[in-house]
Amino acid sequence: MPNAIGVINLAINQPLLHELTYSRSTAAVPFGGRYRLIDFVLSNMVNCGVKKVAVFTNNNSRSLMDHLGSGKEWGLDRKQGGLFILPPSTIPNGTFGGDLQQFAANLDYFLRSKEKYVIISSSHMVCNIDFSDVMRSHVRSGADLTLIYKELNSQTEDLSDSITLDVGLNGRVRAMRDSHIEQGSNKVYMRMMVISKELLVDLVKRSVSQNYYDLLRHVIMRNLDRWHVNAYEYKGYLGIINSITNYYRNSMNLLKPENWHSLFFCPSVIYTKVKDEAPAIYSEHARVTNSLIANGCIVEGTVENSILFRGVKVHRGAIIRNSIIMQKCEIEASAILENVILDKEVHVSVGTWLEGEKLVPAVYSKKSVI
């Protein structure tokens, strides 16, 4: 078990997914048939033995809080440690300055913890990572903090809204760059780090007293020459969910069995909130190929290369291709859907034809009637 506590930092720099985040935070966006984005980082933490995790929330957190509950599904409904959902705090003028403000308001969370290290992560980097190995690398290097990165192909991946790292031969981080400001390397910082609790508490106190409120840009990026900052390369599957296009592309990637297995089972299982529903039902007229169908669905029509979340009903004669249909949507007879994303509880009427572009899907908001 690593000598660490966890922080899932949703207080700043969460990408907006437009229609999918009108009524929920990015961390609560559904993904992969029955999961939420936060499930991945939370499962990664508990799978390596972290037993105390704080979620620093920002806005639109009702859906997120409902999903997390007491943390039971992740083994965090405990007397010692457990799950802490911490609301955003404001500076004296009543505004929200940044994530360091959230850290400062909750210093007791760190000061009362006996663990020596802190694992900090965002939620929009979808991966299955062994934080135990990261911890071993961090301790072995003697670094002040360790940043986790993934080397991506800039020709096939959208790096336009990423922080990239320049890493020396000794594994130290020499520079960090905003890719939308200046061209950097293809080593993408995954918004995950390991830092000693003592150093974190010290820099939070000093930074806030100087009116610095962004942990990454105001503190880490400005002090690379003062600290020993180690880089850890992650080599597994990574999905960066920072736009509707990337959400759609990474969702469709799950239809490849090797990606599905790598993300959900290797090296450990990803957990989510359990809902007791019946298995999916397929009528004699159903035609389903290369799709993920969650429990509770009733399929009477045709589904090709698509993802259906829990409780979706597809009437006879309806056709769904290359689409993502979220929980409790209903697709009536003879409707045709291609390259679309339907948020929860959308009702598509008889004979409706919805079609988006292959790389830019059409998105329909929660509870729409079409």
Domain ranges in the chain are: 4-265, 281-364
Longest dimension (CA), the chain: 68
State the CB neighbour count (10 A cutoff) for residue 250.
19
In the block, which residue shows the tokens 């969370």? Answer: 109
**Which of 222, 211, 240 is CA-nearest to residue 98?**
211
**What are the backbone dihedrals phi and psi of residue 266, each rounded to the nearest 5 degrees, phi first?**
-125, 115
**Which of 109, 131, 125, 112 is CA-nearest to residue 49?**
131
C-alpha–C-alpha distance, residues 18 and 253, integer Å: 21
C-alpha–C-alpha distance, residues 362 and 341, integer Å: 6
**281-364 has CATH 2.160.10.10 classification:** yes
Write out 294-359 in H/E/C secondary structure.
CCCCEECCEEECCEECCCCEECCCCEEECCEECCCCEECCCCEEECEEECCCCEECCCCEEECCCC
**pLDDT tens digits, 168-189:** 888 899 999 886 655 667 899 9
Helix (H, G, I), strand (E, B) or coil at 256: coil
CATH topology of domain 4-265: Spore Coat Polysaccharide Biosynthesis Protein SpsA; Chain A (3.90.550)
Per-residue tokens: 291 = 């799709």
On whether the CB atoms of residues 233 and 185 are closer than 8 A, the answer is no
pLDDT of residue 193: 96
**What are the backbone dihedrals phi and psi of residue 121, each rounded to the nearest 5 degrees, phi first?**
-150, 150
Going residue by residue through the chain, which has 370 residues, state the pLDDT in tens, using 9 for 90 and above.
Answer: 578 999 999 977 667 788 899 889 999 999 999 999 999 999 999 999 999 999 998 877 889 999 999 999 999 998 888 999 988 776 555 565 678 888 988 899 999 999 999 999 999 999 999 999 999 999 999 999 999 999 988 766 777 778 899 998 888 999 998 866 556 678 999 999 999 999 999 999 988 888 888 888 888 998 898 899 999 999 999 999 989 999 999 999 999 999 999 999 999 999 999 888 899 999 999 999 999 999 999 999 999 999 999 999 999 999 999 999 999 999 999 999 999 999 999 999 999 999 999 888 999 999 999 9
- Helices 131-141 and 38-47 pack at an angle, to 10 degrees, of 60
C-alpha–C-alpha distance, residues 174 and 176, integer Å: 7
pLDDT of residue 160: 72
**Which of 245, 263, 196 is CA-nearest to residue 41?**
263
Helix (H, G, I), strand (E, B) or coil at 176: strand
Compute and round to an integer the Cα radius of gyration of the chain: 21
**pLDDT tens digits, 197-240:** 999 999 999 888 888 888 888 889 988 988 999 999 999 999 99
pLDDT of residue 91: 58
On whether the CB atoms of residues 326 and 36 are closer than 8 A, the answer is no
pLDDT of residue 209: 81
C-alpha–C-alpha distance, residues 155 and 151, integer Å: 12
Strands 82-86 and 52-56: parallel
HSE on the CB side for 220, CA within 13 Å? Answer: 27
Per-residue tokens: 311 = 């409780």
